[in-house]
């Protein structure tokens, strides 16, 4: 239908209202390309700017971890409650339903098993394959202070360069070996190095005291690593305290899939992260199932 002249003179052009292009409002995101921001907006809920990631990538170095023996039976039913799934390309193609809609954070580093020196990793996934899988981000382990520290940092920077070309964010995972202390001084060092060298968000451990200084000193979002299996109440307290002290979400694995009731646990974690539910109330929710 042709335009009529009188329509061109109406208020619908809103000439007096300036355009408001808006970046996705998470820390460090404003200068990223549209595709990067769009992928991050799938991982971090726009309404809360937080995420509950479900980590099931343990098998890439330690085989069939307890709780992950059958991902199709144990994990696929949890996907509706996860904002993102951190996993490997083998598990994506073999087991994860393409129609699930859960964003994938793709493990892209690997090499040694638990039988060898873990810091001796290489890039194990090409960025083109991450594109084929439609990953929303790629994840790489960074061993600050480890035997192969420089190699792992180089892995990350190569992925950052490739991700910039294809619009795929990079999650740097700060690895802590037996010889390194999980205190605020070390975590400030590790997370800041990752962010300074281009990581778009960083996964790190919670520490007490001074986790707030770790989050404040990192110019990109921090996602708290779940770490070893804790009693459910303690895991919910840790998640709550991390969020209260500046984390932009959690990436939990064993504290969810090794729980007696994994679905109830991931729902309780989601209540803490996205609804600011207190740990005791979230634990009551977990107990009720």
Active site residues: 203
Query: 226 in helix, strand or coil?
Result: coil
Structure tokens at 206: 């919670």
Q: E-strand spans in 162-280? A: 170-174, 201-205, 222-225, 249-252
Structure tokens at 72: 């199709």
**Separation CA 275–CA 30 (nearest Å):** 25
**Separation CA 144–CA 156 (nearest Å):** 12
Q: List the one residue out of 195, 136, 140 whose CA is nearest residue 167.
A: 136
Q: E-strand spans in the chain? A: 51-55, 84-87, 104-107, 109-110, 122-123, 137-142, 170-174, 201-205, 222-225, 249-252
Q: At what angle do helices 262-275 and 279-288 cross, to 10 degrees?
A: 150
Pairing mode, strands 137-142 and 222-225: unpaired
């Amino acid at each position: 239908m042709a335009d009529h002249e009188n329509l061109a003179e109406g208020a619908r052009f809103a000439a007096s209202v300036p355009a408001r292009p808006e970046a996705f409002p998470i820390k460090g995101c404003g200068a990223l390309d549209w595709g990067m921001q769009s992928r991050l907006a799938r991982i971090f809920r726009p309404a809360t700017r937080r995420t509950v990631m479900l980590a099931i990538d343990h098998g890439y170095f330690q085989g069939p971890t307890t709780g992950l023996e059958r991902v199709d039976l144990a994990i696929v039913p949890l996907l509706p409650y996860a904002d993102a799934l951190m996993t490997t390309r083998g598990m994506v193609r073999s087991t994860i339903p393409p129609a699930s809609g859960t964003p994938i954070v793709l493990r892209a580093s690997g090499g040694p098993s638990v039988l060898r020196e873990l810091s001796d990793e290489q890039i194990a996934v090409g960025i083109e394959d991450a594109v084929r899988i439609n990953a929303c981000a790629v994840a790489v382990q960074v061993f600050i202070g480890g035997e192969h520290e420089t190699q792992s940092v180089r892995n990350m920077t190569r992925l950052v360069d490739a991700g910039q070309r294809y619009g795929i964010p990079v999650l740097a995972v700060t690895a802590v070996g037996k010889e390194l202390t999980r205190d605020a001084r070390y975590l400030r060092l590790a997370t800041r190095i990752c962010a300074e060298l281009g990581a778009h968000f960083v996964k790190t451990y919670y520490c007490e005291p001074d986790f707030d200084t770790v989050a404040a000193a990192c110019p990109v979002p921090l996602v708290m690593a779940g770490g070893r299996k804790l009693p459910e109440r303690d895991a919910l307290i840790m998640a709550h305290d991390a969020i209260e002290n500046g984390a932009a979400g959690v990436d939990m694995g064993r504290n969810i899939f090794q729980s007696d009731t994994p679905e109830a646990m991931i729902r309780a974690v989601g209540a803490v992260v996205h609804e600011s539910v207190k740990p005791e109330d979230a634990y009551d929710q977990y107990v009720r199932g």
